[in-house]
Structure 1
Amino acid sequence: MRQEVKGAALRQLSEGGPAALSLNAIAKELGVSGPALYRYFASRDALLTELILDAYADLALALEGAPPTLADHAAAYRAWALAEPHRYRLLFSAPLPGYDPHDQSLVAAAHRAMTSLLTVTEPHSPVPGPLAAQLSTWSGAEPAVALHAVTAWSRLHGFVTLEIEGNYASMGLDPDELFRTFDL
């Protein structure tokens, strides 16, 4: 039943984004009462958290399955986002007013995906002062590696977000051709 609920929730997300997520609508779709769903998920936020954790796990698997180069990880990240735009948005947009995206379980799940990126990133440039300590604490990696991973991910995230939102199409640009020139 939990998987059926999550499947229905993912369909709602795909069709209308996080604001469309409704336990009562899911119950109706599955032919059960609304209160019956609360045996599986304590609240809409609990369901949302589980969907986010699942999405991070799937993204991490996609990255971990990529060949061990930054370019291949970037391609895997992009492919996952294009195949799962509603789940990508769930990870990187504020899902709902009042929802806490900094819950420790979510931070840990996000870190797994970033750890995969850290393993294929080379040191870039020296890191100044307090930022070096912050990067080292966050990543457990050499600060120059962590800085390159964060800046590469920032560029990649921007590229992919623009693509799934249709911005390149409105500019008349082929995102595949543009991605071939992408520099991390």
Structure 2
Amino acid sequence: MSTPRQRYREQVRSEIKQAALAQIGDGGAAALSLNAVAKQLGMTGPAIYKYFDGRDDLLTELILDGYADVAAAVRAGVSEGTPRERLHGLARAFFDWTLANPHLFQLLAGTPSPGYHAPPESVERAREVLGPFLPVFGQGRCGPAAEPLREEMLRWVEEAPAVADWVRTSAPGGDPATALTGSLLVWIRLQGILSLQVQGQFTGMGHRAATLLTVEMDALADTMSL
């Protein structure tokens, strides 16, 4: 059971992160200033270092929290139905989360600041986002266009036991290389659509991002024989 002191510390840390996210939402990751966050919360600049070691430490926590949040949203999109229907459900869950959290998506999708290096743990968190897609694609079959990528994924599975374990745990019974191929392709397509959407690049182009999402997921399902 946590003590009042521990609960207070966690409350302040949460308030700091919320204020940081608001700054990022207004001006991007480059706008994040610990001094500005401290001032907003009525703290002195040095006091904030009692809760975070520095700007990069705060960014890291925001990124890890973001991955956990989107992973939960994608898991909530798991549904019954055909593999194609399940793919659409998962992709839409990712899409809806991004539209609700555009600044957080940009934090996950890009480099927050020059010289920043994400911790190894962020790779594990990203895998949690892709995990629900693996069993969907594990039921498919790579078409000719995707076969060269599948061969590379097969070598990756053979050379990286941790990756092989992750795929086999998430998609038991399916072909690991095929599951990885589809998951990589869906990640690329989602990142492409959503990055352009949150940057406003589709403005004035006469289509809805949701329509483009449907078209791309159907095309991917065809490629993977879903």
Note whether the superposition's TM-score is higher than 0.5.
yes
1:135, CA displacement in angstroms? 4.4
Q: Which structure has the bigger radius of gyration?
A: 2
Equivalence for 1:6 = 17
Stretch deviating more after TM superposition (63-72 or 174-183): 174-183
Question: Aligned to 1:120, which of 136, 160, 163?
Answer: 136
Q: Deviations over 1:45-99 (max 9, x none)?
A: 0000000000000000000111331110000000011110000000011110000
Q: Deviations over 1:116-161 (max 9, x none)?
A: 2213323332522x53121463353211111111112211221111
- Say whether 1:152 aligns with 2:213: no
Question: What does 1:119-138 correspond to in 2, within 5 Å?
Answer: 119-121=135-137, 122-125=139-142, 126=147, 127-128=150-151, 130-135=152-157, 137=160, 138=163
- The answer to whether the 8 A contact 1:135-1:147 is kept is no
- The answer to whether the 8 A contact 1:124-1:148 is kept is no
Question: Aligned to 2:34, which of 11, 23, 34?
Answer: 23
- Say whether 1:171 aligns with 2:188: no
1:107, CA displacement in angstroms? 1.2
1:181, CA displacement in angstroms? 2.7
Q: Which runs of 4+ in 1 moved over 6 A?
A: none
Task: List alignment gaps of at least 5 residues for structure 1.
Answer: none
Calculate the TM-score normalised by the size of structure 1: 0.92
The one-letter amino acid paired with 2:88 is A
Q: Deviations over 1:12-37 (max 9, x none)?
A: 00001111111100010000111111
Stretch deviating more after TM superposition (165-174 or 119-128): 119-128
- Say whether 1:107 aligns with 2:123: yes
Task: Classify the secondary structure of the residue corresponding to 1:172.
Answer: coil
CA distance in 1: counterparts of 2:213 and 2:153, whole angstroms: 30
CA distance in 2: counterparts of 1:178 and 1:115, whole angstroms: 23
Question: Aligned to 2:64, which of 53, 58, 71?
Answer: 53
Equivalence for 1:89 = 106
Judged with a 3 Å threshold, the aligned counterparts in structure 2 of structure 1 residues 135 and 71 are, in CA distance, closer, same or farther, namely farther
1:174, CA displacement in angstroms? 2.3
- The answer to whether the 8 A contact 1:66-1:73 is kept is yes
CA distance in 2: counterparts of 1:50 and 1:32, whole angstroms: 20
Q: Percent identity?
A: 38
How many residue pairs were aligned?
182
The one-letter amino acid paired with 2:56 is D
Task: List alignment gaps of at least 5 residues for structure 2.
Answer: 1-11, 80-85, 168-175, 221-226
The one-letter amino acid paired with 1:100 is H
